[in-house]
């Protein structure tokens, strides 16, 4: 899957595209980009109608290729390094969404499958 990144794209559009491939995962964007070599903002975007241009430091235009065998850490790093976007991936667990920090080394496919399995019993 390729997702086009530019300053005019809305956050919700990126989230919807991501969710079509990984229905038990969601990608959340930080409201402010992190400073170079600094920690990411702890505030996630509250309004998904914001544009990517409002949330990033590197204003490159292009496509980000997302494949099921990519790890969460790789995906988050690619968003940060190439497009200056701070993102976190969350996995569905029943009716809750869990941050994948502890399992960042798992592939997106593994995360999605785990989310599916955990949500069957909810």
Task: Output the pLDDT for position 120.
Answer: 84
Task: Output the pLDDT for position 48.
Answer: 81
20-41 tens-digit pLDDT: 999 999 999 987 654 444 444 4
Which parts of 15-86 are beta strand (E)? Answer: 25-29, 62-65
Task: Output the pLDDT for position 43.
Answer: 65
CA distance 67 to 33: 24
Task: Map out the domains of the chain as residue ranges.
Answer: 2-119
- Residue segments in the chain with a per-residue pLDDT below the cut of 70: 32-46, 122
């Amino acid at each position: 899957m390729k997702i086009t990144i530019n300053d005019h794209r809305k956050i919700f559009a990126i989230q919807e595209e991501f969710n079509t491939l990984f229905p038990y995962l969601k990608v959340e964007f930080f409201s402010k980009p992190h400073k170079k070599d600094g920690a990411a903002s702890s505030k996630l975007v509250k309004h998904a109608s914001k544009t990517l241009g409002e949330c990033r430091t590197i204003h490159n235009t292009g496509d980000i290729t997302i494949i099921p065998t990519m790890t969460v850490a790789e995906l988050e790093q690619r968003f940060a390094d190439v497009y200056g976007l701070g993102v976190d991936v969350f996995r569905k667990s029943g009716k809750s969404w869990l941050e994948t920090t502890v399992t960042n080394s798992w592939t997106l496919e593994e995360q999605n499958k785990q989310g599916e399995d955990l949500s069957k019993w909810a």
